[in-house]
Chain A
Amino acid sequence: MLPELGSFSLILALCLCGMLGTLPVVGAHTGNQLWMNLARPLAAGIFVFLGIGFAILVYAFLTDDFSVSFVAQHSNSLLPMRYKFTAAWGGHEGSFLLWTFMLAGWMFTVGVFSKSMPIDFVARVLGVLGLITFSYILFMLATSNPFDRIVPLPPADGADLNSALQDIGFILHPPTLYMGYVGFSVVFAFAIAALISGRMDAAWARWSRPWANVAWAILTIGIALGSWWAYYELGWGGWWAWDPVENPPLITWLFGTALVHSLAVTEKRGVFKSWTILLAILAFSGSLLGTFITRSGLLTSVHAFASDPDRGFFILGILGIAIGGSLLLYAIRAPLMKADAGFELVSREMFLLANNVILVVAAASVFLGTLFPMVYQAITDDLISIGPPYFNAIFAPLMMLLVVFLGIGPMSRWKRTSPAYLVAQLSRVALASLVLGVVLPLLVLLEFSLAASITLLLALWVIFSIARDMADKTANKKTRVAGLRSLSWSYYGMQLAHLGIAIMLVGVSLTSYFSSERSVLLDIGGTVELGGYRFDLVDSRRIEGPNYFGEQVEMTVSRDGEVFRVLYPERRLYVASGTPSTEMAIDAGFFRDLFVTLGEQRESGAWTMTLYVKPFVRWIWLGALFMAFGACIAAGDKRYRRLRVRETKKAGSPSSEAMPAAS
């Protein structure tokens, strides 16, 4: 009974979406207050019904309702409770419901936090979001209903959740990733509303920026969680595989980063307007593309859901209409957006333009590498593979170029900056980075690698540049502390996010060039040394878990003769599915990770295993954390908050469209 109510909930949400996609939008065009005012309550209703649907699905999992086909495919009575919950997104149908529910959540939030915006604008924004949600729900009901039942005989038990997904990474990564990914639909809706109304002023940019920043922050965390999960899941220390399903979120992230910067220029200077809109459309396209690739079977990937061409065609249809339509609208309306001002060759605008060009080129290149095999096959009928060697060769130089600009841009002034000024500011920064970049690895790790030093040098370039700029900006106040207090949240957010990039770069370079590993065959009582650490195999035993059994090995780790950690790597066999898995044991640290992956046990009782030492690997995700943190702080800048309070009094009247410029 309940699953049918779930379907019904979806149908209700669909109807509300249909209304939201039409009535308020028409109302905005004709000035119909009633219709425009429907937008917010409709958004709330859609959120409620999709929430109910999702709750019903989760309930079906928690109560082992194997008459529901999706539950039977992805759950099992022996599955621990927390994984029964997360199994709701363990396959295509459920994860797509989660995806849509996230969009409804953003839509609802826009309804709540838009009091300072004129009602016709809100009506259009929510209308666009409503149309997108409509297409997603239609897709579900037509091709992927999570509430479909197995008739006439439901199985006694389910097929179990894939052993790889019975893990905390799976609890955290998909919801966060979806939340960020889907969040770019909001800025997209803002952009479409601007195109429809033909108006795009500083107020528009000021409204859009927090939404773009927060979506970007969440997407950054979502991608970082995926990287972290892959790292300990796969067992060989890799943290990014350039897989066809991993790449679209990265493409969206790159477009999103360019968008966040373009919005800054549009808000402050009234230029790059049409570029900002185009980037908003591109970032959103990235999210649709990701959905398409993951669920259509277009490309081969470990992450892809079971493919079904029907679904592929439907999503392609959505892609075609949404992106084709918005790009057509862009082609027609964007010429109306005139730049408010100009700028010189050496100026902040120019540096941000260079920044955006590089980011877009990077996104386009990743896109090229991801889809080229498919195009190649379509033309030649032959298969070609494109993997990490290609992507790393292309992506790394572009990022290094970007980081060079990253050290200069924040120091430059709007409209015109004297090159002499920049040189004066940065010459010592450059020197310090160069020297330390070469010297530090030598001193600390006693090794030299040109590639690592170059990357480290670039990271230091950013860090010192930040320090220099902050020193500069606090120099003229009464005290340094007063100076620090006078800096805005926006400024701190920016520096923090840029610092995050530098931190990530340090992690990437040190782990890529200075990691070590060793594969050995160890008897019980055997010992092996790696990277200054000693590993001893103490014991081997059988173990049993809630839905698996296997073997566990006990290893002590010592340094300088002192044991400081015991590791328990395992090999498991999951009962219901019969799939084996290897569990690695990690000693995580701020400055290095140590881990052990088991191979197999020989007849003698000895174990094959691989040991790894990975320096600074956690800095990769720490950097992402800083980036997300910085973006959120910037979004909390007082100019977004203060104006909201002041304008609550003016809200509701169409004439309040012509908003005063940013404070």
Chain B
Amino acid sequence: MRTLPGTALCFASFLFVLLSSQIGYAQVDTFEFETDEQQRRFRQLSDELRCPQCQNANLSGSSGGVAEDLRREIHRMIMEGMSNAEIEQFMFERYGDFIFYRPRLRSDTLLLWFGPLIFLGIGGVVAWTISRRARQTDAAKTELDPKQQQQLDKLLNNSESRS
């Protein structure tokens, strides 16, 4: 089974079967906005804020409960002209860091945000060290030691004198 392309093609047909009536958990709001920008902000905030009640879902993807109330509040605050920063502050005062899926950049999250960069730096150093040693090995293996050099010279001289 594992080396047969056929199995892979089998999966291909699965993926392109026209699907209908699948289970979903999305909720539907019908908030009205005056501008597209407001709608976009609402969507972005609902996507990036976490539902305090759920196992691990954002406000967009949770139906009912606190998530519904918070989305309503976000709509109200956007319509009242509050900025994203003010809305986020509102949320922080009530639910803390937990509610942000994008962790705030602070002294205690520096390691989180710069970790990957640090990893990349370490990776670069490691790669450089390996490369340097590999170049040395390469040079060493293609160089001849003095005895081999003598042998080579002797052979070359012999062949020269013969030709």
Contacts and interface: CB of A to CB of B under 8 A. Distances in A.
A and B in direct contact, judged by CB atoms within 8 A: yes
Interface stretch (A53-61, A458-466, A595-603): A595-603
A360 B50 CA distance: 29
B50 to A, nearest CB: 5
Nearest to A343: B134
Interface stretch (B20-28, B73-81, B148-156): B20-28
B27 A599 contact: yes
Interface in A540-580: 567-570, 572
A234 B26 contact: yes
A383 interface: yes
A607 B88 CA distance: 32
A4 interface: no
A343 to B, nearest CB: 5
Interface string B126-163: 11001101111111110000000000000000000000
Given A586-B20, A588-B17, A385 B28 contact: no
A184 to B, nearest CB: 14
A163 interface: yes
Question: Which among B47, B120, B134 has the highest number of chain A CB atoms within 10 Å?
Answer: B134
A190 interface: no
A521 interface: yes
Q: Which of B99, B120, B136 has the most CB of A within 10 A?
A: B120
B3 A214 contact: yes
A561 to B, nearest CB: 22
B67 to A, nearest CB: 13
Contacts of A241: 56
Contacts of A44: none
Contacts of A608: 28-30
A390 B8 contact: no
Contact of B15 (A353, A597, A618): A618
Contacts of B124: 357
| Interface residue range, chain B | 35 or more
Given A234-B25, A302-B57, A343-B134, A365 B18 contact: no
A621 B15 contact: yes
Given A583-B22, A625-B8, A360 B123 contact: yes
B70 to A, nearest CB: 14
Interface string A316-330: 000000000000000
A172 B56 CA distance: 23
A358 B55 CA distance: 32
Contacts of A632: 2-5, 8
B138 to A, nearest CB: 3
B26 A235 contact: yes
Nearest to B119: A361
Contacts of B15: 228, 618, 621-622, 625
A600 B30 CA distance: 11
Contacts of B100: 385
A343 B138 contact: yes
A472 interface: no
A629 B8 contact: yes
B24 A390 contact: no
Interface residues of A, number: 92
B101 A383 contact: no
A380 B108 contact: yes
Given A394-B116, A600-B28, A568 B61 contact: no
A390 B30 contact: no
Task: Name A's interface SS.
Answer: mixed
Interface in A379-436: 380, 382-390, 393-394, 398, 415
Contacts of B108: 376, 380
A344 interface: yes
A389 B138 contact: no
Contacts of A357: 120, 123-124, 126-127
B58 A387 contact: yes
A203 interface: no
Interface string B54-91: 11111011010000000000000000000000000000
A267 B4 CA distance: 24
Given A342-B135, A361-B116, A521 B30 contact: yes
B24 A341 contact: no
A387 B21 contact: no
Contacts of A364: 115-116, 119
Given A167-B22, A341-B137, A568-B21, A236 B3 contact: no
Interface in A620-663: 621-622, 625, 628-629, 632-633, 635-636
Given A364-B116, A385-B101, A570-B21, 5 more contacts: A368-B116, A384-B98, A390-B112, A628-B11, A632-B8
Interface of A: 163-164, 166-167, 172, 214, 217-218, 221, 228, 232-236, 238, 241, 243-244, 271, 300-302, 304, 339, 341-345, 349-350, 353-354, 357-358, 360-361, 364-365, 368-369, 372, 376, 380, 382-390, 393-394, 398, 415, 519-521, 567-570, 572, 581-588, 590, 597-600, 608-610, 618, 621-622, 625, 628-629, 632-633, 635-636
19 contacts: A166-B23, A217-B2, A218-B2, A232-B23, A300-B55, A304-B55, A339-B137, A343-B138, A353-B127, A386-B101, A387-B50, A388-B48, A388-B101, A389-B48, A415-B138, A587-B20, A588-B17, A625-B12, A635-B3
